[in-house]
Structure 1
Amino acid sequence: MVIIDTAATVWWTAGVPVRLVWSGRRWRVTDTPTRLTVTRAELPTAITHAPERTVGWRFQATAEDGETLVVDIVPEGGGWGVARTWT
């Protein structure tokens, strides 16, 4: 795992990421993105379907040269940033 902290430009289709430009390279999302969510800890345990807040996305991304990474993106300022990558 590599910790990253850089801005990314993300394109969306139907509310999910489909491609990004990050670290000077173009990447396509090549799997089904997964929402990263949190649920408020102070909610009563009797709530069976507690509301979740999206705090990021995880997906596989493939560059034009074929390099593939798993990427976590998170909101950063008014846009998105790459928080972590795995090879």
Structure 2
Amino acid sequence: MNISTTRSDVALWFAGEAPDRLVHDGVRYRVTDMPTKLYDEPMFTHELITHPPRQFVGWRFQATDGVGTTHMFEVLRDAAGRWVLGRVYD
């Protein structure tokens, strides 16, 4: 398995509240599984806090291009509110 880490911009379209399509490096992909929300949790919390606050940071999903090539993508929201590619799993 190949894992690529990047921070390149992507275009992301939604169906309802979940990602449906993605364009990365000029290639259009369709989401072909159920997207999973990604959250960031604080590294340190007091021992009495049983449910630390989580912040939504992006999505992980499988997507397939027009010729049948499939990848697993992690798409994150940057500080400016743009969608960027975090990782691609081949």
Fold-level match, TM-score > 0.5?
A: yes
Cα offsets for 1:15-71 (capped at 9, x unmatched)? 211111111011111011111112223433333333311111111010111110000
> Aligned to 2:84, which of 78, 81, 84?
81
Number of equivalenced pairs: 87
Moved more, 64-73 or 31-40: 31-40
Structure 1: 5+ residue runs without aligned partners? none
For residues 6 and 42 of structure 2, the distance between their equivalents in structure 1, rounded to whole angstroms, comes to 26
Matches within 5 A, 1:1-87: 1-76=3-78, 77-87=80-90
TM-score, scaled to structure 2: 0.83
More strand by share: 1
- Residue type matched to 2:60 in 1? R
- SS of residue matched to 2:51: coil
Q: TM-score w.r.t. structure 1 length?
A: 0.86
Which consecutive segments of 4 or more residues in structure 1 shift more than 4 A? Answer: none
Residues of 2 paired with 1:85 and 1:59: CA distance? 10
What is the aligned-residue identity percentage?
36
